[in-house]
């Protein structure tokens, strides 16, 4: 069990970008558990860099300067360190293990593959959000373009699956899923990235409440649970 307080906050690193990454960061810094959380670092995509593989991911649907820098702009407002280079490099390992020392890492729209040295480090795990249908896990929509594929298949709704990061790709152990997200007629993959982001923020709140539900944070989690129950956006596995 992990005991945290305002004097001993939970150390979280975010690996993300675009609307989902921004929504998760906003929840962690402004939500009901924010006083118990320290964002130790943010790793984000620069779609102009070749190793981000922008042509095969969310960036292929078009973006403006504001969208390209959503997460790092938010990070600057909270005076948090931002890293945009390759993560499987010695200089990042030193930064990650010696300075950031995260208890938990959250991935929310991120374009680099995470290796075992990174995902095995945080004591509370390394988790990722991945859009999926709500019928089976691992999802048939693993990979870089799940929204586009679900729209092409004519799905009417989907979920965001919160799962462990492991050596496979978008198939780690399922931890939690959001409520069902409507896929309206004529919607685009980019539209779904936008509209599903609020589901990610509320789901991560419920995940943290479940993970850290102890007497030390009872007052905070009671308040956060009431807020989450009012919207009922996630279910635990």
Asked, for residue 4, whether it belongs to a domain, the answer is no
SS3 per-residue string spanning 109-167? CCCCCCCHHHHCCCCCCEEEEEEECCCCCCCCCCCCCHHHHHHHCCCCEEEEEEEECCC
Round to whole Å and give the CA distance between 127 and 163: 5
pTM: predicted TM-score of the whole model, two decimal places: 0.90
For residue 128, what pLDDT is reported? 98
Domain that holds residue 28: 10-129+161-167+197-236
Helix (H) or strand (E) run with residue 12 in it: strand 10-16
For residue 215, what pLDDT is reported? 41
Give per-residue pLDDT as tens, 8-53.
999 999 999 999 999 999 999 999 999 999 999 999 999 989 888 8
3-state secondary structure of 107: strand
For residue 232, what pLDDT is reported? 45
CB 100 within 8 A of CB 122: no
Give per-residue pLDDT as tens, 138-190.
999 999 999 999 999 999 999 999 999 999 989 999 999 999 999 999 999 99
Asked, for residue 186, whether it belongs to a domain, the answer is no
Asked, for residue 151, whether it belongs to a domain, the answer is no
70-84, 87-101, 119-133, 189-203 — which is least confidently predicted?
Answer: 70-84
For residue 217, what pLDDT is reported? 54
If one counts the domains in the chain, the total is 1
For residue 158, what pLDDT is reported? 98
Q: State how far Cα 97 lies from the chain centre.
A: 20
For residue 223, what pLDDT is reported? 58
Asked, for residue 77, whether it belongs to a domain, the answer is yes
Asked, for residue 51, whether it belongs to a domain, the answer is yes
For residue 178, what pLDDT is reported? 97
| DSSP single-letter state for residue 32 | T
Asked, for residue 173, whether it belongs to a domain, the answer is no
Asked, for residue 204, whether it belongs to a domain, the answer is yes
Asked, for residue 103, whether it belongs to a domain, the answer is yes
Give per-residue pLDDT as tens, 198-224.
999 999 999 999 888 754 455 555 555
CATH number at residue 72: 3.40.50
For residue 227, what pLDDT is reported? 55
Average pLDDT over residues 126-148: 95
């Amino acid at each position: 069990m992990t005991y945290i307080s305002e004097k001993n906050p939970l150390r979280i690193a975010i690996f993300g970008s675009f609307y989902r990454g921004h929504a998760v960061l906003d929840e962690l810094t402004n939500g009901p558990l924010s006083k118990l959380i320290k964002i130790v670092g943010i790793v984000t995509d620069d779609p102009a860099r070749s190793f981000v593989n922008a042509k095969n991911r969310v960036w292929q649907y078009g973006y403006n300067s504001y969208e390209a820098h959503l997460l790092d702009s938010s990070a600057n407002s909270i005076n948090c360190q931002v890293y945009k280079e390759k993560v499987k490099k010695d200089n990042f390992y030193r930064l990650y293990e010696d300075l950031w020392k995260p208890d938990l890492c959250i991935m929310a729209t991120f374009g680099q593959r995470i290796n075992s040295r990174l995902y095995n480090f945080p004591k509370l795990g390394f988790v990722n959000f991945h859009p999926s249908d709500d019928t089976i896990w691992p999802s048939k929509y693993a990979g870089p373009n799940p929204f586009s594929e679900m729209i092409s298949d004519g799905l009417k709704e989907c979920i965001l699956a919160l799962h462990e990061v492991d050596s496979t790709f978008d198939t780690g152990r399922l931890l939690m899923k959001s409520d069902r997200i409507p896929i309206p007629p004529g919607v685009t993959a980019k539209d779904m990235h936008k509209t599903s982001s609020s589901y990610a923020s509320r789901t991560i709140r419920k995940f943290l409440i479940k993970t850290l539900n102890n007497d030390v944070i009872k007052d905070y989690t009671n308040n956060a649970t009431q807020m989450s129950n009012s919207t009922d956006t996630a279910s635990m596995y």
